[in-house]
Structure 1
Amino acid sequence: MSDHSHTNEGHEHGEHAGLSKGKIWQVFGILLLITVIEFIIALVLIPKGVMTQHIGNYIYIILTLLKAFYIVAYFMHLKYEKLGLQLCLTVSFIFIGYFIVLMLIEGGWLNLHMFSH
């Protein structure tokens, strides 16, 4: 018979020790707060003219990236991975975002100039 003892093999440095129930609730609270701020902007500030739609879009993008960071860092456990993997994934996603923006700009430029003649 095999011994099914539970060891910390592969987790020598307590890499998941920071993800307690309290930390999960703290991250949930932060995500909830960001979502509430987004709703206030969408339902109160923009319709009443306190903030323009253009500025609101930039704030939405920043808040969405912040929420994505918390989700990936804590719930997908990237915060507890080695620095090399963190950098590899971060740089990859930055380039993907950069290329998407370039394609959108270029696509808009092509549509603007091709069909305006």
Structure 2
Amino acid sequence: MSEHSHSTEGHGHDDHAGLSKGKIWKVFGILLLITVIEFIIALVFIPKGYMTQHVGNYVYIALTLLKAFYIVAYFMHLKYEKLGLQLALTVSFVFIIYFIVLMLIEGGFLNIHMMNH
């Protein structure tokens, strides 16, 4: 029988040591703060006229993408992966979003008026 050693050499597991309870709570706090900002925008800024719904939608999208970054980077451990995997997943995600937007435009679900001359 062969004996298997359980070393962390070559696996990069030492990098995961940076994800301590304190770091988890810090990321949780950031996510909570972003969510509170979203609620303030929805319940105060837009109804009182400080921000239009159109601008509010873009702010929501930006804040949601920021929350998605933190979730994927820390809770799904992508931050600790090699750069090649990070780039492969990021580029794939961008193309998927791009193709979804193209399909919505072609299907007439997005009202983007193009100049026809």
TM-score (norm 2): 0.84
Determine the C-alpha separation between the residues in 2 that align with 1:109 and 1:38.
25
**Cα 1:11/1:61, change in 2 over 3 Å:** same
Determine the structure 2 residue equivalent to 1:58: 58
Q: Pick closer, same or farther for the CA change 1:110–1:8 going to 2, 3 Å.
A: closer
Q: CA deviation at 1:110?
A: 9.5
Q: Does 1:71 align with 2:82?
A: no
Write out aligned runs for 1:1-117 (5 A): 7-8=7-8, 11-12=11-12, 14-108=14-108
Q: What TM-score do you get using the length of structure 1 for normalisation?
A: 0.84
Q: Distance in 1 between matches of 2:74 and 2:4?
A: 29
Cα RMSD after superposing both structures: 2.6
Q: Which amino acid aligns with 1:85?
A: L
Is the 8 Å Cα contact of residues 104 and 110 (structure 2) preserved in structure 1? no
Give percent identity, aligned residues only: 85
User: Offset at 1:11?
Assistant: 3.7
Quote how far apart the aligned CAs of 1:9 are. Answer: 5.1
Large movers: runs of 4+ above 3 Å: 3-7, 9-13
In the alignment, structure 2 segments of 5+ residues that lack a partner are 112-117
